[in-house]
Each structure stands twice: as structure tokens, then as C-alpha cells.
Amino acid sequence: MTDKTNTNTNDNLLLDIRDLTIQYVTDSGTVHAVENLNLRLGRGETLGFVGETGAGKTTTALGIMRLIPSPPGVVRSGKIIFEGEDLLEKSEAEMRAVRGGKIAMIFQDPMTSLNPVMTVDKQIAEMIKLHKNVGEAESLKLAGDMLELVGIQRERMRDYPHQFSGGMKQRVVIAIALACDPGLLIADEPTTALDVTIQAQVLELMKELKRQFDASMLLITHDLGIVADICDKVAIMYAGRVVEYADKRALYTSPLHPYTIGLFNSVPDLDEDKEALNTIPGLMPDPMDLPSGCAFHPRCTHATEECSKSKPPMVEAGPGHFVSCPVRAGLKAQGGE
Amino acid sequence: MIRYILRRILFLIPVLIGVAFCVFTLLYLTPGDPARMILGDMATENAIKEFRAKEGLDKPFLLQFGNYIYKAITQGDIGRSYITKRPVMNEIMATFPATLKLAAFAIVIAVVVGLPCGILSAIKQYSVFDTLAMIFAMIGLSMPVFWLGLLLILLFSVHLRWLPPSGFDTFKAMILPSLALSAQSISMITRMTRSSMLEVVRADYIRTARSKGQKESVVIWVHALHNALIPVVTLCGLQFGHLLAGAILTESIFAVPGVGRLMVESIKMRDYPVVQGGVLFVAVAFSVVNLLVDLLYAYIDPRIKAQYR
Ligand SMILES: Nc1ncnc2c1ncn2[C@@H]1O[C@H](COP(=O)(O)OP(=O)(O)OP(=O)(O)O)[C@@H](O)[C@H]1O
Ligand SMILES: [Mg+2]
């Protein structure tokens, strides 16, 4: 990504990840979870972060929070610039003020994200006390307000997590995340563990609250339908790298990277009465032993000899539409698409 | 909650009757006539007959058992010692305080030592401390109590002459037996705390707590510890029960005048009513401790409490 053409002017830029590389060093080998990842998020934007399981989405999110479990996780290189400051340079104490206060995270599984032996009001109040200068009673009152905001009756604030359903637990988690009005909300597959009707409700709530709190959001998902519904921008991740980054509209109308196209084709389409889904041939590469060059080349129908040799750079194929596939970007530039 | 407690106490009754039945049957089947044992060899046939009639010993087995249970429940009368001729209940009550003290001391030592060791081991996994703690826990678990007891006596009583080798009347005398008895519990509590902590620290809600910007010390000591303690509390309770019931060896080695030693002595002298009463008493103590542990468990784990209705 080059600065001159990016639609975000610098003061509109909230999060700018540059060349982030995160590995897990284990006994059986080094997992290249995130490799030279670049990502930008403007103020007020919602960025959809899409990729198959194991692509490194959660790792990226934990990297931003500086919560990569270590060992085995190691941040090898890169910068995570948030509001103009590199989070990787911050001390642990400075980071604690960022976590929850400026960047809040919603985790994948609401069933296990709440402390089972603490009432939910205390869990929300804990967040409030950490970042706002209020006493115990006031924090509990605010916690009750937050619960009402996410659609849970105040009377239930003294309940324990096991007394709530999955969808309600996720609402509690959302209440915790938004309690201190964070500038950035990272939601890691917030609805994957919920059943479909509840998914829609929770997403609607998040959409509404994001607007109300004027927060930016990094929404991790592998559901392109959710992305279409909520996001402004989309980043497609494959084997630890962002392979395509664009406005939602541009990405949905003219996806460029062969992997992105494969993803779209594998979404079931009700209008077309096809027998089988078009799945992408081959499997996700072993993250301990990534293919040389473009990690996608063994599964790619467009692959040339060059693809297996050098890592493809991100090129801007259209305004604000970046793709790391020289073959396809070239085609587009020649008007071949 | 009250209903749960009452139900648990009700459940205790069949268990205890079962235990009593087993012990009573054993006693009934052992050779030797209780009447003759109590009245002595010099007693006349008539006196014996009279005694048997008075004590109901000429009745059928089940009736005798029923009578035994009835007297145990209504009068706390569980027979008389063949040797001292005193009620078994008195014998047990005279020795129980020592056993209780010994077990209580041992469990306190086990918790006070085992819990912090386990927590530290988990926080500093694979450190020198962790390795040493795990080695000691291994030794503590595998060392038989009688051997450890003898080693302690050799070191602290014979060589260093710091502590008396037997008795249980002074605080100093209580140290060695409690220590010997607690070794296995220390080891088990250390290991359980460590593994429980290690598991909990990886839990999602710990990550949530960190993502709030919470201090690592609060994350560990508030969020992780409370959850990690849940299985440890159960273990401590079970251990306390075991210590109460299992103090026999320790009491024998250190000559502690407790229920365990009373039972050993009674077995040696074929004083069956005392043996029977002792077993019954230990079973009651064990069950009561278990009940208390379950209640404590409900207190610290709200998920369990919800089921107790
Ligand atoms: N603690 C860890 N130790 C070792 N490897 C790990 C660890 N956490 C993640 N990984 C590996 O890092 C890679 C990226 O994992 P990550 O959880 O970031 O994927 P993801 O994109 O979030 O997948 P999902 O959609 O399943 O959540 C995977 O290959 C995973 O096996
Ligand atoms: Mg994930």
C-alpha cells in the first residue's frame, strides 16, 4: 500500500499495521501465523477481516491487543500504529490503558469468555473501574446501564454467566467491550458460536452500538454475508497475509485475487440451482511449511512460474483496491477484466 | 439450599446403616461369645444366660442388628468394651479429640504449604522452583507415612533432639506427627493446584480479563485463582476425610492417643465392639466432612449452587 493514493488522509487513519510478522515457536516447528501483514483502518470505518480457519485472523487481533500468548508466540517485526503511536513500543503499563480503554475486543466464543464465578455486573464494572475514575457503586450502576443498552434487563445484573443463554452472554461481552467507549472495537467472529436467528440480532445490535458509540470496528469473520451487511472495507487474508484489500463495493463487484474469487464462488447461491459448491481446489497450506513465493500458488489456476519464486507485492489495481497478485492486477490494468 | 442439605443428610442414613451392617455382621461371625468375653471366664452359666437375655444376645441376628442401630441412634450406645467394660462411645470420645487435632493440623499444614507452592509452580512453569516442587511432590506422594515418620523421628528426635518422638500433649509433640501425616496431602494439593491453575490460566475468560486492561496480578489472584480453587477445595475436603480415617499409622508410630491407635490396640486384644464402633465413627466423620465439602463447593462455584435445589 502506498500512501499517496490511499483514501485515508493521515489524521483520518486510526490503525495502521505495517509489516507485522507473528510466529508461534513450538517444539514441532515454527508456525508462520502472520507474515508481513499490512492493514489500515480509518476512523469510523468497519473493516471486514475475512479468511479461512488458521489464516491468522485471531493472531492479528491478539497482536494488536499485545495479548499473544508467549511462549510460544513471538512478534518478529512490524509496527502497529494506533492513533499515531506504535503499540509495539509501548510499555506493559501503557498497554493496559489502551486495552479496554481505547481498543476493546470481543472474543470468538461467548460461552467461555466470561468468568463463571463472577456476576456479570461485576465483570462489566471491572472494566469501568479500570478506565474511568469512578467508585464501586457508580461503576455497578453504569454496568447496569450498559446491560440495558445491550438489551438485558437490569434485574439480571446480579446473575452469573451460566444463567444466560449464548446470545445473552455475547450481549454481556459486548457490554463489557463498549463500557469505556473504545475508539476501536475488535470483534473476533462474534456470532460464529451462536445460532442463526441470534446471530442476526447480535449483529444488528453491534451495528447500532458501533454507530451510537462512534467507534471503528475490525470485524473478523469468514462469513461474506456478514461482511456485505456491515462493513465498509474488506481485507481478505490467506496464510498469514492480506491478499486483497478494498472497499466493500469494489471487492464484491470485481474481486481480483484468485483466492477471493474462490471464496465468493464457494458461497452457496440460492438462485442458481447447482449440485455442488465450487470449492477452492486443494487445502490450506501447512502454516509451519508455507509454499515458496505466493502461498496460494499451488491452489491457483492462474499461477505462473514466477508465482512460486517471489512473494507478490501489494499493488494498487484500482483506487483504494489493493491486491497481491501481479498476474491478476496486470490483467486488470490492461483492461482485460 | 436448605432442602439440599436435608436431602444430603437423609442420604447419609442408608450409607451409615450399610456400614454398620457390614461391621456388625463381621463381629457377629467372629468366634467368641460376647457374654463370656464381658463377664470373664469365672462367670457362671446362669449369669451368662441372664446377661444374654438382658442384652438381647439370644435373639435372632436381624433383631440384634436392629436393636444395635436403635440404641446407637436413640442413646448413642454402641456397645461396651470387652476389656475395659466401659461404653465404646466413651472410649472413642476420649480419643477422638487427638485424632481430630492431628488431622486438622495436617490439613492446615497441607493447605498452607501446598496451595502457594502449586500457584507459584504454575505461574513460574518450568522454572527451578517448579521443578523442585514437582520433585518433592513426587517424593512426598510415594513415600509411605510410616517410613517418613521414622525418618522424621530419627532426624528431629534422635539426632537433633529438637522434638519429642511420641505423645501428643504439647504443641511441640504435635509437630512431627502432623508433618508426617500431611506429606501426601501437601504433595497432592500442590500438584492439583498447579495443574488446575495452568488449565485456568489458558481459559478464554482470563484472556477477557487481560483484554480489559486488568493488571496481571489481579488476573492471576482474582480471576484465575478463584476458578482454579474449585477442584482444589474438593481435594482438600477429601484429604481431610482421609487424614481423619487414615491417621492409624501415624498415631501408631508417634504413639498419639487417637481413635486410630485405639482401634489398632483393640484389634490386637480382640476388643471387637470397640473396633466396630471405631469403624462406624470414622465412617460418620468421613461422611460429615464430605457433606461439608460439598456445601463449600456450592459456595465457591455458583454453577453448582444452581443445581442444589
Ligand atoms: N498458541 C498457539 N500455539 C501454536 N500455534 C498457534 C497458537 N495459536 C494459533 N496458532 C496457529 O497459528 C495459526 C493462525 O491461528 P489463528 O488462531 O490466528 O487463526 P484464525 O484465522 O483466527 O482461525 P479461526 O478462523 O479458526 O479462528 C494457525 O495455524 C494456528 O494453528
Ligand atoms: Mg480465530
Q: Per residue in A136-182, pLDDT tens?
A: 999 999 999 999 988 899 999 999 999 998 889 999 999 999 999 89
Residues B67 and B106 in one domain: no
Residues B238 and B156 in one domain: yes
Q: Considering the domain boundaries, does residue A288 fall inside one?
A: yes
Residues B177 and B37 in one domain: no
pLDDT in the model for residue A6:
45
Residues spanned by the domain of B238: 99-308
pLDDT at B138 over 60: yes
pLDDT at B106 over 90: yes
Out of A69, A96, A117, closest to residue B302 by CB: A117
Structural domains of chain A, count = 1
Residues B61 and B109 in one domain: no
pLDDT at A284 over 90: no
pLDDT in the model for residue A294:
85
pLDDT at A267 over 80: no
Residues B259 and B152 in one domain: yes
Residues spanned by the domain of A222: 3-102+182-333
**Candidate ranges A61-70, B167-176, B264-273, B286-295; pick with highest mean pLDDT:** A61-70
Tell how far the Cα of B200 is from the centroid of ligand 1, in angstroms.
19
Per the DSSP assignment, residues forming a β-bridge with A51 are A237
Q: Considering the domain boundaries, does residue A19 fall inside one?
A: yes
Q: Considering the domain boundaries, does residue B85 fall inside one?
A: no
| Residue A97 confidence class, pLDDT cut points 50, 70, 90 | very high
From the CA of A60, the nearest ligand is 1
pLDDT in the model for residue A244:
92
pLDDT in the model for residue B23:
83
Which residues of A fall within a CB distance of 8 Å from B301?
A: 116-117
Residues B180 and B69 in one domain: no
What value does the mean pLDDT take over residues B195-209? 93
Q: Considering the domain boundaries, does residue A39 fall inside one?
A: yes
Per-residue pLDDT tens over the stretch B243-300: 887 788 888 888 889 998 898 888 888 788 888 888 888 888 888 888 888 888 888 8
| Residue A336 confidence class, pLDDT cut points 50, 70, 90 | very low
Which residues of B fall within a CB distance of 8 Å from A118?
A: 223, 226
> How many angstroms separate the CA atoms of A135 and A336, rounded?
64
What's the CATH code of the domain at A189? 3.40.50.300
Structural domains of chain B, count = 2
Residue with more model confidence, A128 or B79 = A128
Cα dist from A201 to A143, A171, A303, A317, whole Å: 21, 10, 42, 36
| Residue B137 confidence class, pLDDT cut points 50, 70, 90 | very high
A255 touches ligand 1 (CB under 6 Å): no
For the CA of A52, the closest atom of ligand 1 is 25
Beta carbons of B212 and A176 less than 8 Å apart:
yes
pLDDT at A7 over 70: no
Mean pLDDT of chain A: 86
> How many angstroms separate the CA atoms of A61 and A49, rounded?
10
Q: Considering the domain boundaries, does residue B37 fall inside one?
A: yes
> Residue A209: what residue type?
L
Mean pLDDT of chain B: 87
A287 touches ligand 1 (CB under 6 Å): yes
Q: Dihedral of CA A50/A54/A58/A64: which sign?
A: negative
A29 touches ligand 1 (CB under 6 Å): no
CA neighbor of A265 nearest in space, from A277, A276, A256, A254? A277
pTM here is: 0.80
Q: Considering the domain boundaries, does residue B194 fall inside one?
A: yes
What value does the mean pLDDT take over residues B5-34? 83
Cα dist from A75 to A38, A40, B253, whole Å: 14, 19, 59
Q: Considering the domain boundaries, does residue B156 fall inside one?
A: yes
| Residue A271 confidence class, pLDDT cut points 50, 70, 90 | low
pLDDT in the model for residue A273:
58
Q: Considering the domain boundaries, does residue A139 fall inside one?
A: no
Residues B118 and B67 in one domain: no
| Residue A274 confidence class, pLDDT cut points 50, 70, 90 | low
C-beta separation of A172 from A150 below 8 A: yes
Scanning the structure block, which residue is given the C-alpha cell 459456595? Answer: B299
pLDDT in the model for residue A272:
59
Q: Considering the domain boundaries, does residue A62 fall inside one?
A: yes
Cell numbers placing B309: 435445589
Q: Lowest mean pLDDT: which of A37-51, A86-100, B293-307?
A: B293-307
> How many angstroms separate the CA atoms of B56 and B46, rounded?
15
> How many angstroms separate the CA atoms of A187 and B199, rounded?
25
The side-by-side arrangement of strands in the sheet containing A315-318 is: A103-106, A184-188, A216-221, A46-51, A233-238, A241-247, A321-323, A315-318
Q: Considering the domain boundaries, does residue A41 fall inside one?
A: yes
Per-residue pLDDT tens over the stretch B41-97: 777 888 888 878 877 778 888 888 888 888 888 888 888 887 888 899 999 999 999
**Candidate ranges A144-148, A222-226, A309-313; pick with highest mean pLDDT:** A144-148
Out of A104, A107, A160, closest to residue B207 by CB: A107
pLDDT at B15 over 90: no
C-beta separation of B220 from B123 below 8 A: yes
Beta carbons of A160 and B210 less than 8 Å apart:
no
C-beta separation of A210 from A22 below 8 A: no
Residues B31 and B149 in one domain: no
| Residue B309 confidence class, pLDDT cut points 50, 70, 90 | low
Cα dist from A109 to A114, A233, A328, B99, whole Å: 9, 24, 37, 49
Residues B61 and B152 in one domain: no
Q: Considering the domain boundaries, does residue A151 fall inside one?
A: no
pLDDT at A4 over 60: no
